[in-house]
Structure 1
Amino acid sequence: MGKQTMAMILRDESALYYECGYSCDNAILLKLGSEAWFFTDGRYAVEAEEALQGSELVIADDILAAAAKRLKKSGVKRCGYDPKEWDCHRFGRLDPKGKITWKARPEWSHKRRMVKRPEEIELLARAAKAGAKAFDRIARAFSEEGFGKDEYALHFLAESILRKKGKRELSFVPIVAIGPNAAKPHAHPTKRKLKKGDLLLLDAGVKVERYCSDRTRTVRAVKGFDFGTIQGFKSRRMQKVYDTVLRAHDRAIDKARSGMKARQIDALAREVIEKAGFGKYFVHSTGHGVGLDIHEMPYISRRSGTKIADGMVFTIEPGIYLPGEFGIRIEDTVVMRNGRAEVL
């Protein structure tokens, strides 16, 4: 083995899937140059044999011991790992005698996955389209049978539509929030009931072949409402906040360019909200990458110096949250294509 060869050992399911086309909840992937070994137990033998690409399948009752044995047999001197994937117990068993030089490679897989391949973008676009159609169905269902129901019931109804009777997986647990509860960016359901004219926030996403979608809309819930971005609120204050968030959303998408740093795109949205006097109520980043995981690189935050490039996919989701009153967030997922942001 040449001096420049360094192995990489992975546990994260999305990282495994990206590297070899298969993953499960008890597996390790060891990569060494053009060679790779996928360690799992007998429960997954048939599926792994069918799906694995470019990796040798190793079935073992104790996959840590099997991986340690392979490391020793291969004569590995240096091995990379993502410290976010490992705990002290598991990591210690890989090299109990301390003969390997371990190189921490935080976010190794996320960095490899940051620029999406064309086939990945297609899957993300399909997921976004499926999510948008689900939003339309949820709007009809809420309009027809949602008034008078509490957030628990609305959450259950939204999730059943998103899952398409069990045929689809969700990107994350949906957020359904009414009025003051929407002032919590990651609101949990409450007993608050939906009344006509209420502010309603829905944040949800679905998966297509493991690739995620992510979308948020805030609306005035009246008979026949939809989740479009044109909304009219009776409260002038609420309308002002909504219009501010929409301007921030639209400005960031319209002016984002490949070659910018992520914090510059964050500033495009944040400046609108700050100039309107609501800066301290925008309490999170403008966006995050989306792919096999719902939160990936690049992070569109005030601190991120990541250079944005064509092929990156991320959300634009400014929000204003007024504690005890209401919260508004508008979110779309975009792909950088031909230098500009295109809504999926």
Structure 2
Amino acid sequence: MNNYILQDENALYFECGFSCDHAVFLKLGSEAFFITDARYTTEAAEVIKNATVLEGDRRDLLKTARLLIRKSGIKSLAYNPAEWNVEAYARFSDKLNINFQKKPNFSQQKRIIKTETELEILKKAALFGRDAFHRFGEFLKHDGLGIDEMMAHFEAESIFKHKGALDLSFSPIVALGANAAKPHALPTRKTLQKGELVLLDAGVKYQRYCSDRTRTSVFDEHFNFEKKQQFKDAHQQKVYDTVLLAQKAALKAVKIGVKAKEIDKAARDVIDKAGFGNYFVHSTGHGVGLDIHELPVIGSRSETIIEENMVFTIEPGIYLPEQFGVRIEDTIIVRKDGAEVMG
């Protein structure tokens, strides 16, 4: 693909090692342009080595892009429709006599196989995330009784940010008791009581790359976020063990050359067999990198062929409305001999 335009911040960062909240990246044959406004041009020029930094009209950066396209004489331009609203695309494409090629998520497609450098960064992010899980677990163990989800969420954000040294991959999910039956639960005034389940889904960004992990535990005197969990309630134990077996089955199914939907099926079959199939309501995983959700999708309809150095989550779950929910998630690297769990 010789000619394309990008506006997404992570896509820009991947292209040239710099991004900001108001910029356009334009590739025209052998030439590349990073168009931004005067607030960012100095820093951009210091960092970017593989593109010409141009100052555009702060109110309309696309005006500069249009002029460059006209001057170049190109016949076609690829774009990701997800990056555009209707008004901006209409204004940009008006009277440009070229072929606009819709290429959904083409930047993520370029990033689907990670380099060894990216993998090292991702592994460090995963380790920082794992450490934060431990520290948040220790906080809850000693000070969690009676805390509500809003305050627990606040404490989780503070711990995962590591005193401002790290960014968050996403707003943490801290779900207590019956709220854990909501896969993406929002924090409420629900308070933590002894014997209740705690679901924590959280991650950090290290050098722009994300980590993602979920653990489910029971709040008692032995509280921790390890995978081995012992529940006094037999029903909770059955659900937890089913999810754990489903994750193990999916991890075992990770092999170069299989289709992503086969990994999803491995997890889903375990949960179906245990009688909880209707309560596994999301896909088994998603890619992780500069975006917290990127390619590949590990779902029941995904025909993506798994390749070495892909990075994605394995996160089966069972969610029983008004009772509790369990999810166990790890981020993995596809290696020649199967899945390598990070962190």
TM-score (norm 1): 0.97
Equivalents in 1 of 2:93, 2:218: separation in Å?
58
Does the aligned pair in 1 maintain the 2:70–2:96 contact within 8 Å?
no
- Match of residue 21, structure 1, among 17, 20, 23: 17
1:288 aligns to what?
Answer: 286
Does the aligned pair in 2 maintain the 1:180–1:326 contact within 8 Å?
yes
Give the letter aligned to residue 114 of structure 1.
I
Task: Determine helix, strand or coil for the equivalent of 1:196.
Answer: coil
Give the letter aligned to residue 202 of structure 2.
A
Q: Displacement, 1:232?
A: 1.0
1:205 aligns to what?
Answer: 203
Equivalents in 2 of 1:144, 1:205: separation in Å?
22
Structure 2 counterparts to residues 217-236 of structure 1, below 5 A: 217-236=215-234
Q: Displacement, 1:165?
A: 1.3
2:188 aligns to what?
Answer: 190
Identity score, percent: 53
Does the aligned pair in 2 maintain the 1:176–1:202 contact within 8 Å?
yes
Equivalents in 2 of 1:207, 1:6: separation in Å?
31
- Match of residue 66, structure 1, among 35, 45, 64: 64
Structure 2 counterparts to residues 25-104 of structure 1, below 5 A: 25-61=21-57, 62-104=60-102
Larger CA deviation: 87-96 vs 271-280: 87-96
Task: Determine helix, strand or coil for the equivalent of 1:42.
Answer: coil
Give the letter aligned to residue 57 of structure 1.
V
2:321 aligns to what?
Answer: 323
Q: Displacement, 1:184?
A: 0.2
1:105 aligns to what?
Answer: 103
| Backbone CA RMSD of aligned residues | 1.0
Give structure 1 stretches of 5+ with no counterpart: none
Equivalents in 1 of 2:156, 2:144: separation in Å?
10
Q: Displacement, 1:339?
A: 3.8
Q: Displacement, 1:52?
A: 1.2
Larger CA deviation: 82-91 vs 100-109: 82-91
Larger CA deviation: 143-152 vs 207-216: 143-152
Task: Determine helix, strand or coil for the equivalent of 1:283.
Answer: coil
2:133 aligns to what?
Answer: 135
Does the aligned pair in 2 maintain the 1:309–1:339 contact within 8 Å?
no
1:114 aligns to what?
Answer: 112
Give structure 2 stretches of 5+ with no counterpart: none
Equivalents in 2 of 1:107, 1:255: separation in Å?
26
Larger CA deviation: 326-335 vs 70-79: 70-79
Task: Determine helix, strand or coil for the equivalent of 1:231.
Answer: coil
Q: Displacement, 1:34?
A: 2.2
Does the aligned pair in 1 maintain the 2:243–2:271 contact within 8 Å?
yes
Does the aligned pair in 2 maintain the 1:123–1:208 contact within 8 Å?
yes
Q: Displacement, 1:224?
A: 4.5
Q: Displacement, 1:92?
A: 2.2
Q: Displacement, 1:6?
A: 4.4
Q: Displacement, 1:304?
A: 0.2
Q: Displacement, 1:53?
A: 2.8
Task: Determine helix, strand or coil for the equivalent of 1:243.
Answer: helix
Equivalents in 2 of 1:44, 1:223: separation in Å?
52
Structure 2 counterparts to residues 308-319 of structure 1, below 5 A: 308-319=306-317
Equivalents in 2 of 1:243, 1:53: separation in Å?
51
Does the aligned pair in 2 maintain the 1:310–1:339 contact within 8 Å?
no
Q: Displacement, 1:255?
A: 2.8
1:171 aligns to what?
Answer: 169
Aligned residues: 340
Does the aligned pair in 1 maintain the 2:18–2:48 contact within 8 Å?
yes
Task: Determine helix, strand or coil for the equivalent of 2:40.
Answer: helix
Equivalents in 2 of 1:138, 1:303: separation in Å?
36
Q: Displacement, 1:257?
A: 0.7
Equivalents in 2 of 1:324, 1:223: separation in Å?
25
Task: Determine helix, strand or coil for the equivalent of 1:57.
Answer: strand
Equivalents in 1 of 2:169, 2:29: separation in Å?
33
Task: Determine helix, strand or coil for the equivalent of 1:194.
Answer: coil
Equivalents in 1 of 2:204, 2:21: separation in Å?
20
Larger CA deviation: 298-307 vs 219-228: 219-228
Equivalents in 1 of 2:86, 2:248: separation in Å?
45
Does the aligned pair in 2 maintain the 1:65–1:93 contact within 8 Å?
no
Equivalents in 1 of 2:96, 2:21: separation in Å?
27
1:242-262 superposed Cα distances (whole Å, 9 cap, x missing partner): 000000011111231111000
